Amino acid sequence: MHIHILGICGTFMGSLAQLAKQLGHRVSGSDANVYPPMSTQLELAGIDLIEGFDPQQLQPTPDLIIVGNAMSRGNPCVEYMLDKGLVYTSGPQWLGENILRDQYVLSVSGTHGKTTTSSMLAAILEHGGLNPGFLIGGVPLDFGLSARLSSGSGGYFVVEADEYDSAFFDKRSKFVHYHSNTLVMNNLEFDHGDIFDDLTAIQRQFHHLVRILPSNGQLIYPVDNANLQQVVDQGCWSHIQTFRDEKSDVKDSGWRYKLLAADGSRFEITDANNQSAQISWQHSGQHNVLNAIAAVMAASTVGVSLETACAALCQFVGVKRRMEIIYEDDQVRVYDDFAHHPTAIVSTVEGLRAKVGTEQVIAIVEPRSATMKLGMHKAALSDAVAAADCALWYRGPAVNWDLQAVATACTVPAMVCEKIDQLLSSTLEQIHGSSEKSHVVVMSNGGFEGFHLRLVAALKAGQ
C-alpha cells in the first residue's frame, strides 16, 4: 500500500511514518519545512520527502492519505484530497486501527513529562526483556529513534498519549484512539489554549479516555493531584493505582517515593506491598522523580519487578532536548530543554539549581507554544525563573503581548531580546561576567531560529 502523509515532519507524524514503513508500506510525505532531526530520520528510513503542498504530489493517487493535525482547510493538498474524494484518515486513528488494536498498550498522558515518562517506560520494558514497540514525541537517547514496532511475544507497545486534537475533521484528543490497557495520567493543567477554552474542557477529554479504559485495565495517577482526581471522580471502571510523596498529607495505601538527595538524583520507591528499591541516576528535579515512579508502576502492570525497573532507570540516558547537554567546557555547560509551560520551566530551573548549587544558572526562554504565543501564561512566567541567577526572554515575531512586563516583574535580573544576535551577545556577556561556572538552559519547543547552534559555535570559537 502507498501511504502519503501530509505534515510528515512533526514528531508524531514522522514517527508514524517510520512505523508504516516497518510494516512494509511504501511511505511518502510532505511538509512546509523539511528539517532535521526528523527529516534525517525519515531519509534514513527510505521515506520520500516533498517540500510544500503542491497537489501534484497526490498524482498518481496514493492508496491512503494520513492527514496531520497541523493541516487545515485551505491547504492545497487538503482541498485537492476533498475535491477528488480521496481516501484519508488521521494519524491517531491509523495508529489505533493498524498497530495498537492488537497490542497491550501502555499510554502515558498528562500536561508535562509525557515524552520523558514514555521513554523511561520503554527503557524499563526493554531492560526487562519485553522488547516493546513505542511511539514517543521525541528521541529517547537509550534507543536513538522515536518509534519502532514490538518484537517480543507479548506485543507490548508504549505510546505518548497526547491530548491535542487528532485532525481538522476529528477534534477529539489523539489519545482516545489508542486502545489503552495501562494508562498513566501524570498531571493536568491548562494548556493548548488554541483548542481548549479552559481546564474543564481538557478534563472532559481526559475523562473520555478514562471511560474507554477496559475494566481489567490499569489507571495510574498521583493521588494528590486535584485536577486529575476530578477527572476520576466523574467515573472510573478500571483498576486504580495511585502514588504520592512519602511526606504527603494525603495518605493512601498506594505507591510512594522518598527523596534521598535534594536534587532528585537519588530516591527510593516503595510499592503497595511495602517493598522498596532505590534509584541513583544522572538526572535531577522533582518532576523526573514523579516521571520515574509512574513509569515503574506502569511497568509493574505487565510483570516487571520493582528491582528490575529501578535497575533500568539507574542506567537511563534520557531524551533528546530534555535537559540534553549540548556543550561543556571548564567554564560553561549548555542544556537544550523543551520546557514551554510555567510549571515545566519552574521544575527545570529549580532542578538545575539544586544540582549545581551556587554556580551561575542562566535561563533563556522562548515563549513559542500556541498557548504561550497567546499570552495565556504570562502572569506565571516571572516567578517561573526565580531559581536562576538571570533570565533572558526572546520576543519572537509571533509574540505580540508585553513580554517586557514579565521581565520587569522577575525577582532576578532579566531582559528581553528581540533579535537572535542580541540574545547571543547578552548570553555570552553573562557567561564571561561570572567567576563561577555557568549553566545555560535554553528552553523552547521549537528550533529557536538556530540559537542553540550559534551559541555552541561561539563558545567553541572562544568568543
Q: Beta strand 332-337 with 324-328: parallel, antiparallel or unpaired?
A: antiparallel
| Omega prior to 60 cis, within 30 of 0 | yes
What is the pLDDT, as a whole number, of residue 37?
66
The percent of residues above 70 in pLDDT, for the chain, comes to 95
pTM: 0.81
- Hunting for cell 521581565 — which residue is that? 407
The arithmetic mean of pLDDT across residues 249-275, rounded, is 90
What is the pLDDT, as a whole number, of residue 406?
87
| Omega prior to 37 cis, within 30 of 0 | yes
Cβ atoms of 106 and 157 within 8 Å: the answer is yes
**pLDDT band, residue 377 (cuts 50/70/90):** low
What is the pLDDT, as a whole number, of residue 65?
98
What the block records as the C-alpha cell of 437 is 561556572
Helix ranges restricted to H, 239-397: 286-300, 306-314, 342-356, 370-373, 378-384
Q: What is the mean pLDDT of the chain?
A: 90
Q: Round to the nearest angstrom and report the end-to-end CA distance of the chain.
A: 53
pLDDT over 80 (residue 187): yes
Q: What is the pLDDT of residues 1-55, one digit of tens each?
A: 999 999 998 889 999 999 999 999 999 999 997 766 677 778 888 999 999 999 9
What is the pLDDT, as a whole number, of residue 378?
66
Ranges of CATH 3.40.1190.10 domains, the chain: 99-314
Please check whether the domain covering 2-91 is classified as CATH 3.90.1170.50.
no
**More confidently predicted of 185 and 33:** 185
**pLDDT band, residue 164 (cuts 50/70/90):** confident
Q: What is the pLDDT of residues 92-144, one digit of tens each?
A: 999 999 999 999 999 999 988 899 999 999 999 999 999 999 999 888 888 98
Ranges of CATH 3.40.50.720 domains, the chain: 2-91
**More confidently predicted of 456 and 90:** 90
What is the pLDDT, as a whole number, of residue 375?
53
One-letter amino acid identity for 274? N
What is the pLDDT, as a whole number, of residue 194?
65
Residues forming a β-bridge with 49: 29
Please check whether the domain covering 99-314 is classified as CATH 1.20.1070.10.
no
State the CATH class of domain 324-460.
alpha beta
One-letter amino acid identity for 425? S
Neighbours of 197 (CB within 10 A): 9
CA 82, 60, 167, 162: dihedral to nearest 10 degrees?
A: 170
Chain centroid offset of residue 292 CA: 14
CA 233, 237, 243, 248: dihedral to nearest 10 degrees?
A: 30
Q: Is 361 exposed, middle or buried (0-12, 13-18, 19+ CB in 10 A)?
A: buried
pLDDT over 90 (residue 219): yes
Residues 6+ apart with CB under 8 A from 140: 118, 119, 122, 123, 134, 146, 317, 318, 319, 320
Instruction: Give Rg (Cα) of the chain.
Output: 22
The arithmetic mean of pLDDT across residues 342-353, rounded, is 85
Q: What is the pLDDT of residues 385-444, one digit of tens each?
A: 999 999 999 988 777 778 888 889 899 999 999 899 999 999 999 998 888 899 999 988
Residues forming a β-bridge with 54: none
**pLDDT band, residue 461 (cuts 50/70/90):** confident
What is the pLDDT, as a whole number, of residue 372?
56
Cβ atoms of 214 and 238 within 8 Å: the answer is yes
DSSP code of residue 102:
G
Give the lowest-confidence range in 110-114, 239-243, 266-270: 110-114
